[in-house]
Amino acid sequence: MVDLSELEPFLDQYFGSNNKKQDVLITPLKSGLSSTSTYILQVNQQKFIIREFNKKYDKQRKLNEIVAHKYASDEIQISPKILYIHPDVKFMIIEYIDGRAITRNDLKNPDIIRILAKLIRNLHNYKGEFIQYRPQSARAEKDYNKALSNDIAFPMVFTELYKEYIQEGQKMLLQKKDIVLSHSDLIPENIMISNDNKIYIIDFTAASWDYRYNDLGYFALLNGLNEKQKQLLLSEYFDNKIDSHNLENFNKAISRTYFLTSLVWFVFSEKPEDKEVSKELRIQVLDDLLQNNSIKEGAEYIENNEIVPLYSEDKESLRLYALGFLKTYIKTRTRGRNLND
């Protein structure tokens, strides 16, 4: 939590030296899956956002977020402006936007998809310096190793699929012309519509150089775009110049998002007492469930806009969610291979 005394330089800068007479209130905001803590700072009737950086991050990683956010806000005007950065990069203060997270109902408006495609393209057009190189495959590797160290059980088929996923990701990164500054977490909570109908992208914690299609596929899947909406997104992003290469890479990125989601949910799928059962037996249970045609697939969760909270105490629901996304990944992966044969 940010100490009030640490806000004095900002208050002096923004309100003048009489800030001690101001009424200052700090209220925590729900941060979802974000690794940062976020607060509303209210000074009299004026509101701001405080983003407190994760203490586990080194200074360079915090500066990376600032660089990406500043480009988005100052150069291409798609994010709220940064107003103050703590000297030790403990937190930053940004503009408060009166608005809400985007919804699927909003995305029924084709103009909103067109705008978002242009915003993502403008972000991807960044040509400056940026240190962070933590692409999607590297984040998956970190999560997988974390799961192994915590003795988490995966279905038997998972290890081989993971190796293929990493190898494919490494090949993608060789496509230099498609490596761009990516947001890497374009979930609905990170896309805002203001009360005056302007669209903003927020939370650049995961920003990194990465394969452009990963950003597009991740956005398309986790915002529940249908086929017509996906086509519109791609067409607008590529200025109406899409070909079979674009479509193949885009669909592959969507498929890979199913796998990444499955992996992340598996990481949180067991309590300590679950591990009192042998790992072999836990794997067998998962294998049996994966073969069960009655379990809901990831595509169905997406279609119904159902999310099992990552930190849920209902570990059985977490496992079924992870298995469902894995099942859809296996199907889409197999379908993609058949089309390429």
pLDDT at 338: 45
Q: Using only the alpha carbons of the chain, give its radius of gyration.
A: 21
Predicted TM-score (pTM) of this structure: 0.93
pLDDT at 150: 96
pLDDT at 132: 78
pLDDT at 159 over 80: yes
pLDDT at 19 over 70: no
Q: State the average pLDDT over residues 205-227.
A: 97
> Over the stretch 231-278, which tens digit does the pLDDT of each residue have?
999 999 999 888 999 999 999 999 999 999 999 999 999 999 999 999
pLDDT at 109: 98
pLDDT at 45: 85
Q: What percent of the chain has pLDDT over 90?
A: 85
> Over the stretch 52-62, which tens digit does the pLDDT of each residue have?
999 989 999 99
Are 110 and 232 within 8 A, CB to CB? yes
Q: How far apart (Å, rounded) are the C-alpha atoms in residues 44 and 27?
A: 14
pLDDT at 300: 97
Are 201 and 150 within 8 A, CB to CB? no
Q: How far apart (Å, rounded) are the C-alpha atoms in residues 168 and 232?
A: 26
Q: How far apart (Å, rounded) are the C-alpha atoms in residues 144 and 158?
A: 10
pLDDT at 304 over 70: yes
Confidence of residue 18 (pLDDT cuts 50, 70, 90): low
pLDDT at 35: 63
Residue-range domains of the chain with CATH: 4-96 (3.30.200.20), 106-340 (3.90.1200.10)
Q: State the average pLDDT over residues 312-320.
A: 96
DSSP 178-231: GEEEE-----GGGEEEETTS-EEE---TT-EEEEHHHHHHHHHHHTT--HHHHH
What are the beta bridge partners of residue 29?
38
Confidence of residue 221 (pLDDT cuts 50, 70, 90): very high
Angstrom CA distances, 117 to 80, 195, 232, 236, stand at 18, 21, 9, 6
305 versus 3: the higher-pLDDT residue is 305
pLDDT at 341: 42
Q: What percent of the chain has pLDDT over 70?
A: 95
pLDDT at 239: 94
Angstrom CA distances, 225 to 78, 118, 166, 218, 248, stand at 21, 16, 26, 10, 17
pLDDT at 200: 98
